[in-house]
Chain A
């Protein structure tokens, strides 16, 4: 057995492995012996099949198998022993001679390796990174408060309609003389509101209407949008475009949406019971939640900025040709998913960016001995679980509930990997924040959103 490395350039190397008969012979023999005990053949009792027969039948397959194993074992051992930092996986070299398993007794394999470039990531206090602290404006706070409470609002019946009321009633189509058309369009229990009526004259007809009133309106004038007509009259959009003339609307019910009263009952519904007792506390709590949510966005922006900064700072060269081959090779086996060269060409820049970031990150991790532990992963899982619940509007999920949910998530191996990934990302970001000078800038929400748009334009 002989392994040697041939360095082509900084990023590419070829490893030659030559295997002698002595290396594989005993292993093949051993496997064949095992086979002999198990093989079942007519004319022979189990275990009594002559060795030569077994060898003839399975010898070649076993030989190929064993050599394969031997090669991959030695290759990975060689890589780990020499601490080669490789990208992707070793690929059979293009210069590989064909192997004749029938004749040859000595085999020679060559593998191409893509080597990870040496990078040095140094962070000093001289580097500056902006951290955008989004300010909570009064408008935002009001809006959020409304948002939080709106789910607990009630609708109350009203005698007379005002602008905000929802009117429920039946539509009947009228002819030119104002008589009902018998087989015209009829819609029962349609709900409309004065706010969606565009025409002022039509709007006036609705405002002030009482239960039992009959209003004549012209849908075409009142609702220039076909979608609204089709929804109100329960007809298709194409039909709605054709609608002309007047309709009679018989008011059956008038409801108004009322904001809920800010009282202990409501506080207990929104937040864990007992934690909020008066309006100031409620406002403070809403503000805190909002700030937390915004903080996550700030962190996100910071991580993007930091990534950009680091990538810009460190120039990394990658063995592109090798990586292209590798991507193609790894994707080939998947069913029917043919990766064309063109696709790879398109994906390449993004893939390279990702890879670069990974290299930088790994370098940061090894240089600074960042470590994650089970607890970190758990914390991150809890954090993302909380975020998931918040998306559904559940802000006050109890801790033990979160914990069990997070533990559930971690049972899935894929999830666990992504959680670990996230946790280590957080760690790296924390480290970056420590290492560089962070400039905190206070911005409003709009300014912050604009930053993102600017980024996209780039």
Chain B
């Protein structure tokens, strides 16, 4: 199981990182906070002080087409907001 799926790169997350030293990731829904902490520490060699997680439900999607109504859902996913110890930093843009 890959714990970290991708970092969240948005304006808000950039601001969060600049002011509170917090970084967001989309993570596997089955991963718990301990696993996430370990994964982030391993991947970016930083020390994590706390992890907050949010599970987003998939949105219900309805499409009205010629052949009838199509019902569906988008996938649900887990976000993790990771607070780093003071002095540590993650720069998503420097490495490839």
Residues of A near any B CB (own CB < 8 A): 42-45, 48-50, 52-53, 55-56
- Asked if B93 and A52 sit within 8 Å, CB to CB, the answer is yes
A-B contact pairs, 20 of them (CB 8 A): A43-B8, A43-B9, A43-B10, A43-B11, A43-B12, A43-B13, A44-B10, A44-B11, A45-B11, A48-B11, A50-B14, A50-B93, A52-B93, A52-B94, A53-B9, A53-B92, A53-B93, A55-B93, A56-B93, A56-B94
CA distance A45 to B94 in the complex (A): 21
B91 within 8 A of partner (CB): yes
Q: How far is the CB of B90 from chain A (nearest CB, A)?
A: 12
CA distance A49 to B9 in the complex (A): 10
CA distance A55 to B13 in the complex (A): 18
- The 3 A-B residue pairs with the shortest CB-CB distance, nearest first, are A43-B10, A56-B93, A44-B11
Q: Which residue from chain B places its CB closest to the CB of A50 in the assembled complex?
A: B14
Q: How far is the CB of A202 from chain B (nearest CB, A)?
A: 82
CA distance A50 to B93 in the complex (A): 10
- In chain B between 1 and 44, which residues have their CB closer than 8 angstroms to a CB of chain A? 8-14
CB < 8 Å A-B pair total? 23
Q: How far is the CB of A430 from chain B (nearest CB, A)?
A: 67
- In chain B between 69 and 96, which residues have their CB closer than 8 angstroms to a CB of chain A? 91-94
Q: How far is the CB of A431 from chain B (nearest CB, A)?
A: 65
- Asked if B91 and A52 sit within 8 Å, CB to CB, the answer is yes
Q: How far is the CB of A37 from chain B (nearest CB, A)?
A: 15
Q: Which residue from chain B places its CB closest to the CB of A41 in the assembled complex?
A: B9
Please, which residues of chain B bring their CB within 8 A of the CB of A44? 10-11
Please, which residues of chain B bring their CB within 8 A of the CB of A56? 93-94
Please, which residues of chain A bring their CB within 8 A of the CB of B14? 50
Sample of 18 more A-B contacts, CB < 8 Å, known A44-B10, A49-B11, A52-B93 = A42-B10, A43-B8, A43-B9, A43-B10, A43-B11, A43-B13, A44-B11, A45-B11, A48-B11, A50-B14, A50-B93, A52-B91, A52-B94, A53-B9, A53-B92, A55-B93, A56-B93, A56-B94
Q: How far is the CB of B31 from chain A (nearest CB, A)?
A: 23
Q: Which residue from chain B places its CB closest to the CB of A57 in the assembled complex?
A: B93
CA distance A52 to B93 in the complex (A): 7
CA distance A44 to B93 in the complex (A): 15
CA distance A43 to B24 in the complex (A): 13
Q: How far is the CB of B9 from chain A (nearest CB, A)?
A: 6
Please, which residues of chain B bring their CB within 8 A of the CB of A55? 93
CA distance A50 to B12 in the complex (A): 11
CA distance A194 to B9 in the complex (A): 96
Q: Which residue from chain A places its CB closest to the CB of B9 in the assembled complex?
A: A43
Please, which residues of chain A bring their CB within 8 A of the CB of B93? 50, 52-53, 55-56
Please, which residues of chain A bring their CB within 8 A of the CB of B91? 52
Q: How far is the CB of A65 from chain B (nearest CB, A)?
A: 20
CA distance A77 to B10 in the complex (A): 45
Please, which residues of chain B bring their CB within 8 A of the CB of A53? 9, 92-93
CA distance A450 to B91 in the complex (A): 84
Q: How far is the CB of B48 from chain A (nearest CB, A)?
A: 22
Q: How far is the CB of A47 from chain B (nearest CB, A)?
A: 10
Q: How far is the CB of B92 from chain A (nearest CB, A)?
A: 8
A44, A50, A55 interface centre (most CB from chain B within 10 Å): A50
CA distance A82 to B85 in the complex (A): 61
CA distance A42 to B10 in the complex (A): 7
Q: How far is the CB of B11 from chain A (nearest CB, A)?
A: 5
Please, which residues of chain A bring their CB within 8 A of the CB of B12? 43
CA distance A323 to B32 in the complex (A): 69
Please, which residues of chain B bring their CB within 8 A of the CB of A52? 91, 93-94
Please, which residues of chain B bring their CB within 8 A of the CB of A45? 11
CA distance A163 to B8 in the complex (A): 101
Q: How far is the CB of B81 from chain A (nearest CB, A)?
A: 15
CA distance A397 to B9 in the complex (A): 74
Please, which residues of chain A bring their CB within 8 A of the CB of B11? 43-45, 48-49
Q: Which residue from chain B places its CB closest to the CB of A43 in the assembled complex?
A: B10
CA distance A50 to B15 in the complex (A): 10
Q: Which residue from chain B places its CB closest to the CB of A45 in the assembled complex?
A: B11
